[in-house]
Amino acid sequence: MNRRNFLQTVGTAVPAAAATAWMTRTNSEVQVRKDKDVVERILDTRKIRYNYIANGPLLEIEPNTRKLSGVFYDLTQRLGEMANLEIQWNSETTFANYTEDLHLGKCDVIACGIWPSANRAKAANFSMPAFYSGVGIYVRRNDHRFDDDVQKLNDSQFRITTLDGEMSQSIQESDFPKASVVGLPNNSDISMLAENVATGKADATFMEKALAFHYMKKNPGSLRNLVEAKPIRVFENTWAFNYGSERLKTILDSALKEMIYSGYVDHTLVKYNQQDGFYRVHAPIG
């Protein structure tokens, strides 16, 4: 390479390298500002905004007063007390729409006990678990067609009822793709999964043990679980929030650790008669 070509190459490379370094620095600064915007606003206002999903005993909405209650309601309120933050309960959302609420800035966190999955993790981040849920396969009490082999359900002659955007749909698509589907819109109460099976509109569904127990307590003799001894899935119950703020995750995780280690989570499960519906996160000692 002659001197002239060498100088031309250097002259081109230096601006390009500088531009690359500037873009890298700028992207890093944008990320820092994004993190700062979320957490600094929370700390400046002393308020953290929650949207929520009706999810049985984890978060219930009284139809007439719209008053909230349930395990994750109490845990969220407790977080506010511990962190000296006011919890603002913005509005109800759905399993299909909560990530959009986060991305549009309608709230900071989602309450109800979201189950992380690889697909959901593409759109949202999650706190550590407060406790674990086991998912059962529920059929009518007097239906014994699948007792010896649940894979019999993977046939178009059998109907599985699912909720759009919820884990029941994911399990059906993954494990029982040949079954016929009785779908419910994403704004349906999750108890309609049990109702569809109990009334004969479907042959089976997949539900969290605690939610099914909640339904069966009100409707004794209606359903039974085909996989009582070994759940078809085990999931973490978490708060969901946007990527981009490690400090927000630290606040949420630290609060949950305190609540788990102090026994507050166990106390709350007992308060709502859910002590047998979930698997615990154990403290590292004792």
Domain of residue 218, CATH code: 3.40.190.10
What is the number of domains present in the chain?
2
Contact at 8 Å (CB) between 110 and 239?
yes
Q: How far is CA 143 from CA 105, 200, 223, in A?
A: 46, 11, 9
Residue 88 included in any domain: yes
Can you give the pLDDT at residue 241? 97
- For residue 185, is it within any domain? yes
65 part of a folded domain:
yes
Strand, helix or coil at 88?
strand
Same domain, residue pair 122 and 250: yes
Looking at the structure, tell me whether residues 243 and 120 fall in a common domain.
Answer: yes
Residue 18: inside a domain? no
Give yes or no: residues 74 and 164 share one domain.
no
Same domain for 190 and 203? yes
Are 85 and 156 contained in the same domain? no
Q: Tell me, yes or no, whether 191 and 49 share the same domain.
A: no
Q: In angstroms, rounded to a whole number, what is the distance separating the alpha carbons of residues 286 and 275?
A: 19
Residues 126 and 137 in one domain: no
Q: Is there a single domain that holds both residue 120 and residue 256?
A: yes
- What per-residue confidence (pLDDT) applies to 28? 44
- Please give the DSSP secondary-structure letter assigned to residue 54: -
Are 226 and 144 within one domain?
A: yes
- 81 Cβ contact partners less than 8 Å away, ≥ 6 residues apart: none
Does residue 63 form part of some domain? yes
% helix, strand, coil for the chain, step of 5 = 45, 20, 35
Cβ neighbours of 240 (radius 10 Å)? 27
Are 241 and 117 part of one and the same domain?
Answer: yes
pLDDT of res. 229: 87
For residue 26, being part of any structural domain is answered with no
d(CA 255, CA 244): 19
pLDDT of residue 32: 45
Query: Which of 90, 68, 95 minimizes the C-alpha distance to 190?
Result: 95
Three-state DSSP state, 230: coil
Query: Which two tokens mark 220?
Result: 């004794």
Domain span at 266: 40-131+237-280
Comparing CA positions, the residue from 194, 198, 191, 192 lying closest to residue 142 is 198
Q: Is residue 126 part of a domain?
A: yes
Q: How much is the pTM?
A: 0.74
Same structural domain, 177 and 113: no
- Location of structure tokens 């109490």: 74
Statement to judge: residues 127 and 241 lie in one domain: yes
Q: Is residue 160 in some structural domain?
A: yes
In DSSP notation, 140-198 reads ETT--TTSS-GGGGSSTTSEEEEETTSHHHHHHHHH-TTSEEEEE-TTS-THHHHHHHH
pLDDT at 19: 47
The tens place of each residue's pLDDT in the chain, 286 residues long, gives: 544 443 444 454 445 444 444 444 444 444 444 556 788 999 999 999 999 999 878 999 999 999 999 999 999 999 999 999 999 999 999 988 999 999 999 999 999 999 998 989 999 999 999 999 999 999 999 999 999 999 999 999 999 999 998 889 999 999 999 999 999 998 898 899 999 999 999 999 999 898 898 899 899 999 999 999 899 999 999 999 999 889 999 999 999 999 999 999 999 999 999 988 899 998 887 6
- At 4 the pLDDT is 47
> How many CB atoms within 10 Å of residue 89?
16
